[in-house]
Copies of this chain bind each other. A is one copy, B any other.
Amino acid sequence: MMNNLTHLDENGAARMVDVSAKDTTEREASAEAVILLSPEAFDAVASDEAPKGDVLAAARIAGIMAAKKTSDLIPLCHALPLSKAEIAFEPLADKNAIKITATVKTVARTGVEMEALTAASIAALTIYDMTKAIDKGAVIEGVRLLAKSGGKSGAFTAPP
């Protein structure tokens, strides 16, 4: 079992895995998170009144910048030169929620799953921060990898 945890060596010590021998290929990953808001907070963020736009604009920028900081946050994550980062928001009006999808690409020796997950998480936390004066009870659910492609380990697609 132990040797499946590639981030630990044979003694259980953490390490940044050697990827020197892996191929430099195009790799992509997408991840999502859903933030459940109170009706009032949802209305303030996602309704179509113009001034509200800046909440999602700030969350989008925060997510993209966080993608670039991932290796500084996740201890054993390799720093990779991201070639694309995008954040999309989908309001889910029936549950006063916002679904955040982050998509990240690189051309590198290892994948960008952590970058996509970090971007989605930080975008969600930014929405929390900007609505917490209205409602401190918002909850972030379903932070998960949606899909990855590229690299020897092959593609992954999350169950629906």
Contact between chains at B132 and A125 (CB < 8 Å)? no
Nearest CB of B to A22, in Å: 8
A121 to B33, CA, bound (A): 12
A57 at the interface (CB under 8 A from B): yes
A116 and B16 alpha carbons, distance in the complex (Å): 13
Given contacts A125-B74, A136-B148, A141-B142, contact A19 B84 (CB under 8 A): yes
Interface size class of A (residues with CB under 8 A): 35 or more
Q: Which one of B14, B118, B139 lies within 8 Å of A57 (CB-CB)?
A: B14
Contact A54 B12 (CB under 8 A): yes
Q: How far is the CB of A38 from chain B (nearest CB, A)?
A: 11
Which A residues have a C-beta under 8 Å from some C-beta of B? 1-2, 4-9, 11-20, 26, 33, 40, 43-45, 49-55, 57-58, 60-62, 64-69, 71-88, 105-109, 113-114, 117-118, 121-122, 124-126, 128-134, 136-145, 148, 156, 158-159
A108 to B80 CA separation, bound complex (whole angstroms)? 13
B4/A86 in contact, CB under 8 A: no
B-side contacts of A44, CB under 8 Å: 1-2, 4-5
